[in-house]
Amino acid sequence: MRRTVKEFREAKGKRLVYLTAYDYPTARLAEAAGVDAILVGDSLGMVVLGYPSTVPVSLEEMLHHTKAARRGAPDTFLVADLPYLSYATLDRALSAAERLLKEGGADAVKLEGGEEVAEIVRGLTRAGVPVLGHVGLTPQTASQLGGYKLQGKRPEEAERILKGAMALEEAGAYGVVLEMVPALLAKEITGRLSIHTVGIGAGPYTDAQVLVFHDVVGLYGEFKPRFVKRYLEAGKLIQEALVQYAKEVREGVFPGPEHSF
């Protein structure tokens, strides 16, 4: 049974599992594995579409992938990312969220930023759109943060991230992603909020955890961030299988009699 937003609002202290998925087969696998929530993250721009960052991802691309993921996981709570600049104004945010929920089948949207997006989050939640916040390393604006690196090491940075998370809660977000922040900062934020926190590269003290599907199964290049645990080297296995397929075709081994009519 698909979980409700109310359950996520009351998820404080529960160790919920989020996982990204971007299409029918990966969402099917995530649902069959029993994850609590699927995130159709705009990380799809990098791991599926080959962009250098999440910035080029369009709303049409998010919709296309959200619809596919929903078809693969009809019974799992599904959050879709609002792409870069699609929530620069409340009108734009409402219209993007409307499409992701109505056409895409998402249950909630996620957007990046702290105090600076609190009024947008308030407008969305007042209109009835469930919102997941995202502070710490925010990939859509990573270049302004000095790249893909740990955030909140300096006390003033840590304070900004904490205030951002609190502003999101106050504005009505049902949860907040904490990305690449020190474990003790994540612990403090988790302790100060009554909504659940979802960590990625934020240590063990958040309420929930999220990882990118392609990182978990080894499908995105050689680089593995320190916070990722790789449970499978699927990329290597697939590569070996494809080499074997090509070899067998070239050597006349495939198709054999058992594959022929």
Residue 190 interacts with ligand KIV (CB under 6 A)?
A: no
Q: Which helix (H) or strand (E) holds 133?
A: strand 131-136
The catalytic position among 116, 179, 233, 258 is 179
- Give the position of tokens 């063990």: 204
Residue 197 interacts with ligand KIV (CB under 6 A)?
A: no
**Of the candidates 111, 166, 210, 219, which one interacts with ligand KIV according to CB under 6 A?**
210
Dist. CA 81–CA 97, nearest whole Å: 9
User: Nearer Cβ to ligand KIV, position 168 or 212?
Assistant: 212
Name the segment binding ligand KIV (CB under 6 A); options: 39-47, 93-101, 122-130, 249-257. Answer: 39-47
Q: Minimum Å distance from CB 210 to ligand KIV?
A: 5
Give Cα 39 distance to the centre of its chain: 4
User: Nearer Cβ to ligand KIV, position 61 or 241?
Assistant: 61
Contact 177, 110 (CB under 8 A): yes
By CB under 6 A, the residues from 166 to 185 that bind ligand KIV are: 177, 179
Does 98 participate in catalysis according to the annotation?
no
Dist. CA 197–CA 189, nearest whole Å: 8
Q: What tokens appear for 213 in the block? A: 């599907």
- Give the position of tokens 């019974």: 75
Of 93, 103, 107, the residue nearest 3 (C-alpha): 107
- Bridge partners of residue 110, in order along the sequence: 81, 132
Name the segment binding ligand KIV (CB under 6 A); options: 37-45, 63-71, 147-155, 224-232. Answer: 37-45
Residue 76 interacts with ligand KIV (CB under 6 A)?
A: no
User: In terms of C-beta density within 10 A (0-12 exposed, 13-18 middle, 19 or more buried), how is residue 36 classed?
Assistant: middle
User: Nearer Cβ to ligand KIV, position 84 or 182?
Assistant: 84
Q: Minimum Å distance from CB 260 to ligand KIV?
A: 44
Encoded one letter per residue, x for contact with ligand KIV by CB under 6 A and - for no contact, window 113-152 reads ---------------------x------------------
Rg value, the chain, Cα = 20
- # residues contacting ligand KIV (CB under 6 A): 12
Residues 157, 159, 161, CA angle at the centre, nearest 5°? Answer: 70
Residue ranges that bind ligand KIV, judged by CB under 6 A: 20, 39, 41-43, 81, 134, 177, 179, 200, 210, 212
| Active site (catalytic) residues | 179
